[in-house]
Chain A
Amino acid sequence: MAEGQIDEQLRSELQRQGVWVTSMQELYNWGRKNSIWPLQFGLACCAIEMIATAASRYDIARFGGEVFRPSPRQADLMIVAGTVTKKMAPQIVRLYNQMPDPKYVISMGACAISGGPFKQGYNVLKGIDRYIPVDVYIPGCPPRPEALLHAFMELQRKIDSQKLSGANKAEFLKPEQPSEFPVPEFAEHDLNPPANPNTYHPPALERQG
């Protein structure tokens, strides 16, 4: 809407004259992206890097994300920091379900993306994106705090670009988009279901010849 309604040239001209023009969408996204409250929740060694990011040296407070909330009701962002075991996966999905919209997920580290070095393990979930939608992936084992900050900035960019209205408005504003995702159950050999087909879209193998 900002692109459609306000002429950029006029806007910068006004700004030079000391008049600041904005839109509801920009104001809303500006407020949201600068106060992302993460869920206080770590799973493995990546959580140590997450703690370092929150502490004074790397200081995620510079980006407005220092308020780690111990309750999912008050959190905007879930940083899945570490190996997700199959025992833990239902709890993570349930915590995600209990977060209010709009909510975002950062999949931090190789384990949260794909199972990482423990991918062959019988008890390790091969990526949290099998059950919940992930916004930003951070590779690394574990990723440096700078990488988490970079992911945080990427998420801020994503929030900033979300539309409030129109056909391609943000997913959480669409009434048909679910806010809760099915929680997997413990089955004999694996979690049931092993992945949520609505959120999990693995890259298809393309064989030649």
Chain B
Amino acid sequence: MTPNPYLFIVIFAGVALAFPLLPLALAWLWRRFFQPPKPGAQKNAIYECGVESIGEAQIQFRSQYYLYAIIFLIFDVEAVFLVPFAVAFTGLPIGAFIAILIFMLLLVEGLVWAWGKGCLNWASPSSPQGVFDRTGT
């Protein structure tokens, strides 16, 4: 007689449940009979690096860096295209040179546009969100 093929899944699920629950139950029993609980303000504190936390954790964080990241990414991708172009430069026709020049000009235009919009000014007073605020007040 062959066992039900689903029996193994049941066994597996049982072991998977018992594996974490058994130590937890043992620990609970141990605490119940031997170890007196000694909670405290510092012991139960959320932050655990020795220093006391200051202020709130839920603050408004100024998301300015993403502009730099995007502009960097554009030129990062440009470099990916430029390196193989430079390697094969001597064997390429004039059309390829003009094509890559247009490609670079488009990117430079984007940079000029971002520059003109003030994206490269770090925490400028005129920017709508104001300066990065540590305390969130």
Q: Known contacts being A91-B50, A94-B50, A98-B48, is A173 close to B43, with CB within 8 Å?
A: no
Which of A138-146, A175-183, A194-202 participates in binding chain B?
A175-183
Are A95 and B50 in touch, CB under 8 angstroms? yes
Contact with A along B32-64 (1 / 0, CB 8 A): 001110101111010011111000000000000
What range describes how many residues of A lie at the interface?
Answer: 20 to 34
Are A97 and B43 in touch, CB under 8 angstroms? yes
| Chain B CB within 8 A of A164 CB | yes
A94 to B50, CA, bound (A): 5
Note all chain A residues with C-beta closer than 8 A to B41. Answer: 180
The residue that B42 contacts in the complex, of A92, A98, A164, A174, with Cβ under 8 A, is A98
Are B51 and A180 in touch, CB under 8 angstroms? no
| Contacts across chains A and B counted by CB atoms under 8 Å | 43
B30's closest neighbor in chain A, by CB? A28
Are A91 and B51 in touch, CB under 8 angstroms? yes
Interface of B is mostly: loop
Are A71 and B48 in touch, CB under 8 angstroms? yes
Can you list 20 pairs linking A and B with CB atoms under 8 Å apart? A71-B48, A92-B50, A94-B42, A94-B50, A94-B52, A95-B49, A97-B42, A97-B43, A98-B43, A98-B45, A98-B50, A100-B43, A164-B34, A173-B34, A173-B35, A175-B36, A178-B38, A179-B38, A179-B43, A183-B42
Q: Which residues of B contact A (CB under 8 A)?
A: 34-36, 38, 40-43, 45, 48-52
The 8 nearest A-B residue pairs measured at CB: A91-B50, A179-B38, A175-B36, A180-B40, A97-B42, A95-B50, A94-B50, A98-B48
